[in-house]
Structure 1
């Protein structure tokens, strides 16, 4: 058996884009910050989100069959912290935000870098998490900004590396 603290430390070294996973429960928007997100397939367009079974959001997505993934910009660290429950006194995580309703009825954070609106296509057991495969039913992307990244338990931005212009 491996040491879980060392495993968590090793996994914290992996840089991942910060997202806010949103859905709706009894006509009220809910959301949570997550980094365990990835594209899966182009045909059909599928993404995966991995959520702890302990989360209320997990249960709501299982019941509703819908979710949206909002990819955050580096300028949206506070938003990532808000949906991670890291800002004391915030009761309504959506209060004061520019939000629209997606095709599935999930809330969309309109100022995010990009978003995908999904219907649950499949679920798989993954230990203490569930792997949600979402079929993308709507999508939007902005080129205004750079991704917010979480690595080594720190919020970070992304910068261009020298020589990237050769790859364009």
Structure 2
């Protein structure tokens, strides 16, 4: 399979944008932007995220066994960009926004569209990524708002065009 063609085809799939974050025993917070997030099951409550095996986030979640998922709203594009790849791991990506500690201690964005606090339930190696299943320990919907979408390698907003309102 031609990897360039595959990337082009997969870029046509619109998805929501999340920040996957964790914290180490030493209190070091780290996170990354992801669009490979999915609900898996309600009973038991499971979600999945796909992490590049060479990423700092992957390594720290492997060590801590905990992570959070903060679902970004349409106004969180700067946060999505800040947590995107290509920046040194030593840089604090958490910025000026309020980040609360979830039940596990991992950070969640206080004004996220929604958040999930998870413990690693399983890992599945999948090529250059690991599919991480998280058992949801706590969750919240701080506010109802339109999501941030990633499509064709760009951030987009999803709006109800017929009514001009948030769905």
> Contact 2:111 / 2:143 at 8 angstroms: preserved in 1?
no
1:76–1:87 CA distance, 2 compared to 1 (3 A): farther
- Residue by residue over 1:54-93, the C-alpha shift from the partner in whole angstroms, topping out at 9 and shown as x without a partner, is 10100111111100000000011001001115789x9311
TM, length-normalised to structure 1: 0.90
Structure 2 stretches lacking a partner, 5+ long: none
Q: Distance in 1 between matches of 2:155 and 2:28?
A: 28
Aligned residue number for residue 8 of structure 1: 7
Q: Distance in 2 between matches of 1:121 and 1:144?
A: 28
> Contact 1:39 / 1:48 at 8 angstroms: preserved in 2?
yes
Please state whether the residue corresponding to 2:57 is helix, strand or coil.
helix
Q: Distance in 1 between matches of 2:105 and 2:136?
A: 13
> Contact 1:81 / 1:87 at 8 angstroms: preserved in 2?
no
Runs of 4+ in structure 1 displaced over 2 angstroms? 85-88
After superposition, the CA RMSD in angstroms is 2.0
Q: Distance in 2 between matches of 1:81 and 1:139?
A: 24
1:60–1:87 CA distance, 2 compared to 1 (3 A): closer
Q: Distance in 1 between matches of 2:101 and 2:77?
A: 23
Aligned residue number for residue 47 of structure 1: 47
TM, length-normalised to structure 2: 0.91
Q: Distance in 1 between matches of 2:142 and 2:159?
A: 17
> Contact 2:38 / 2:47 at 8 angstroms: preserved in 1?
yes
What count of residue pairs does the alignment treat as equivalent?
162
> Contact 1:29 / 1:107 at 8 angstroms: preserved in 2?
yes
Q: Distance in 2 between matches of 1:87 and 1:119?
A: 26
Structure 1 stretches lacking a partner, 5+ long: none
Q: Distance in 2 between matches of 1:85 and 1:5?
A: 19
